[in-house]
Amino acid sequence: MSTLRFDGAEFTPPPGMKLREAHAHLPALGREMTQLSLHDCISAPECVSRVAALASRMESAREPGWLLASGVRVSGWKDQRWPFLTELDRACPNRPCLLGGFDHHSGVCNSAALAAAGLSASSSSQGDGLVVRTPEGEATGLVLEAAFEAVRRAVPEPTPEQWLRHIKAACDSLASLGFVEVHDLLSPVGLGESLAKLDDSGHLPLRVWLYPALADLGATLTLRGRFERPGAVTVAGAKLFADGTLNSRTAWMLSPYRDPMPGHERGTPLISVKQLAAAIDQTRAAGVGLAVHAIGDGAVRAVLDAAASRPAPRGSPTLRIEHCELIDATDLPRFSQLGVIASIQPCHLLPDIDVLKDQLPHRLDRVLPLRELIDSGCRPGELLWFGSDVPIVRADPSDSVAAAVLRRRPGMTPEQAVAPEQAITESEAWRCFSPTPP
């Protein structure tokens, strides 16, 4: 359990309160916990020296395999630059090395890692991905999108024992923050059986709801008899994407970005209302819920339109919208009218403030309208849920409570807050973490 101090205010869970983390990625969290964490790094030279220190420790311990690190956020570094390929080659000369960006869409690697992925300083872009070059044409080691994925795929898969250790580490770390329930969004098909193994040996410290990708729902349900454990491991629904992300300007907006990606003035819709309605039908028929990733107000509206076309019979499994970073005023009352859950991670406001102010300055009043959601009938913990999206950001619930109450980052003045009229009280914010009643 932790306490966050923020410009004189202090955020601690109410004594004895049990918490639900409504949006997490357990396998990725577990994997990152076993990697070098660069979340608190402040410059490229510091990053390089930490990599060099770990590389030499691995050498002296004769530890095989890749050197992996995560959590790079260059925009927050003093020098605002990625380490160069040559720097990483010197720091980690004897094995492949990959440092992942916090957003899981970018990273930087050494020559051995580029080679393992079939890329090189002279390879051109890979699919829709990119090996970033210097003006002289040399690869910098920075890999984006599909090129980043190519390097990531070249990393050997964890063994079954490592995989189980990762999942246990992730669950233990969430339990240590006071969580008794966690929802895993985009669960791999094998996750349920790992969790059941932990539960059977008395090592599962919280209950887990699984949301496999809609494409994996059938395979997951076929196996459910082997791994579901009443009150501990449950297939709760399927996960689907309606849009992209704010940082990449692919979140689906009702109005254009100030500086859009060419051809994508309002972001990138990934699905139609008709397809969303079909997904509601499909999951309802299977007796499970549906969680739809929708960050932009256009994506949120599409999900609500689909929900309106498929009125929920009493007691039908839940439809939840993940993220909801912007909600248009006309759509806001529809959450409580349609019984759709707003599953929000207010902590994302803290890193997203800059891109919101830069790209959507005319829509800042529609960012995370928590006050209006509650006032329109979404009761905290019932139709308004909080989570973190860990490991994209850390899971500490105090971050989301502070963001929901203060609407700004530490060090910012109250005048720099985003839509301060949408602030909610600290006690309302904690209630959004209330576990699901049995």
216: left (phi over 0), alpha (psi -120 to 50) or beta: alpha
Closest-by-Cβ residue to Zn ion is 389
Residues of span 243-282 touching Zn ion by CB under 5 A: none
Q: Which is nearer to Zn ion, 389 or 426 (CB)?
A: 389
Q: Considering the complex, what minimum distance in angstroms separates the CB of residue 141 from Zn ion? A: 27
Q: Which residue reads 């003093």 in tokens?
A: 78
What is the CA 331 to chain-centroid distance, rounded?
24
Contact range with Zn ion by CB under 5 A, out of 81-89, 226-234, 381-389, 430-438: 381-389
Shortest Å, Cβ 390 to Zn ion: 9
Pairing of strands 4-6, 9-11: antiparallel
User: How many residues form the binding site for Zn ion (CB under 5 A)?
Assistant: 1
Q: Which range, of 101-109, 168-176, 386-394, 415-423, touches Zn ion by CB under 5 A?
A: 386-394
- Segment 44-103, which members bind Zn ion (CB under 5 A)? none
Q: Which listed range, 121-129, 162-170, 280-288, 384-392, lies at the site for Zn ion (CB under 5 A)? A: 384-392
6: enclosing H helix or E strand: strand 4-6
Rule CB under 5 A: say whether 389 interacts with Zn ion: yes
Distances (CA, A) of 434 to 14, 74, 408: 11, 34, 24
> Taking CB under 5 A as the rule, which mask of x and - marks residues 115-154 in contact with Zn ion?
----------------------------------------
Q: To 10 degrees, the CA torsion angle through 113, 107, 148, 211?
A: 120
Single out the residue of 357, 236, 361, 251 nearest to residue 301, CA to CA. 251
E strands along 86-236, which residues?
97-101, 106-109, 130-133, 139-144, 179-185, 207-211, 233-235
DSSP per-residue codes, 71-114 = EE-GGGSSS--PPPHHHHHHHS-SS-EEEEETTSSEEEE-HHHH
β pairing state of 106-109 and 139-144: antiparallel
Binding mask 209-248 for Zn ion (x = CB under 5 A): ----------------------------------------
How far apart are the C-alpha atoms of 99 and 121, rounded to whole Å?
A: 17
Does position 184 interact with Zn ion (CB under 5 A)? The reply is: no
Q: Which of residues 141 and 267 has its CB atom nearest to Zn ion in the complex?
A: 267
Task: Single out the segment in contact with Zn ion by CB under 5 A; choices: 176-184, 311-319, 387-395, 415-423.
Answer: 387-395
Q: Is 399 in the site for Zn ion (CB under 5 A)?
A: no
Cβ 253 to Zn ion, closest distance in Å?
19
Taking CB under 5 A as the binding criterion, the range among 114-122, 353-361, 378-386, 388-396 that sits at the site for Zn ion is: 388-396
Q: By CB under 5 A, name the binding residues for Zn ion.
A: 389
